Amino acid sequence: MSGTQIRKVAVLGAGLMGHGIAQVCAQTAGYEVSLLDVKQELVDRGVAMIKDSLSKFVSKGTIDKPKADEVMRRIRPTTDLETALEGAQLVIEAASENPKLKVDLYHKVSELMSPKSILASNTSSISITLLASATKNPENVVGMHFFNPPQLMPLIEIIRGAKTSDATVDSIKAAAMQMGKETVLCKKDSPGFIVNRVLMPALNEAAFLVSEGVADPEDIDKAITLGLGWPMGPLKLLDYVGIDTALSISDVMMQGFDDNKYRASPNLREMVRAGLLGRKSGKGFYEWPSPSTTKAKASP
């Protein structure tokens, strides 16, 4: 697979991360992109988010309107998996952070995709080896973890599965460079990889501070931004990531390491049950009446 020229990318999942990944592939790398989701309304929502993002780039003078239009022409939305995979040299999976859902998807994708194509997962924590075991060509499966928002964040974590080939890793490094990204290599398929292995315990501890009544969300975030120099406080970041996604990552790490230090704060689980998922649901640790305003709310 080394040296294979990527011309078309299929992005599986048009949500929070998938739409941004599709935009980066089309805008920065110049790839043709298929953007897939299971329902037309989800695909339409993803396309709308890309258009909104591009309009912001245009208003800031980063790109011009003809360039934005060209990017949209490169993105072909679909709800049909076979159509999405046709002709793709790189498939980037950005489905929900659910191991069973992903494994089932990998079974289906492996039956339809070219045996020479790379299947890369944007998972935040799930084992690449596990996902690869559901495919016919595990040597072509690799972790390609983007950060939110993919249009702006400069890093991609590359994660080796137990059978990931050197050629696959080299191809992903080249694709990431084409997308204008820096890369780091996680040499071992370990839960949480590099960034989330460090980050999630910190975010989880901030959630514990709220559940224990130690401080209000605003003061916790203020303490960390001013005291540690973080660009965003941990609770606001949880709202951006999605409380459900953060809980899934914590559960994967807890199961993978069998260590209570990764146990999720109880209020994260309660918030998910209550539908308080953060920015995407309008409420989390903060209220999100619009993307540009926040108001602290009581912990559930």
Residue 157 annotated to the active site:
yes
Q: Is 281 labeled as catalytic in the residue annotation?
A: no
Q: Edge-to-edge, what's the strand order for the sheet holding 182-186?
A: 75-78, 32-36, 8-12, 90-93, 118-121, 141-146, 155-159, 182-186
On the CB side of 262, CA atoms within 13 Å amount to 22
Q: Which of 137, 145, 171, 267 is catalytic?
A: 145
Tell me if 36 sits within 8 A of 13, measured CB to CB: yes
Q: Does 97 participate in catalysis according to the annotation?
A: no
Catalytic residue among 157, 165, 248, 265: 157
**For residue 241, which of 207, 208, 211, 210 has the smallest C-alpha distance?**
207
Using DSSP's 3-state secondary structure scheme, residue 89 falls into coil
Question: What residues are paired with 118 via a beta bridge?
Answer: 90
Which candidate in 127, 137, 140, 196 is catalytic?
196
C-alpha pair distances (Å), 159 with each of 2, 76, 122, 162, 254: 17, 28, 10, 10, 19
204 an active-site residue?
A: no
Q: Please pick, among 53, 121, 124, 171, the residue that the annotation labels catalytic.
A: 124
Q: What amino acid positions are annotated as catalytic residues?
A: 124, 145, 157, 196
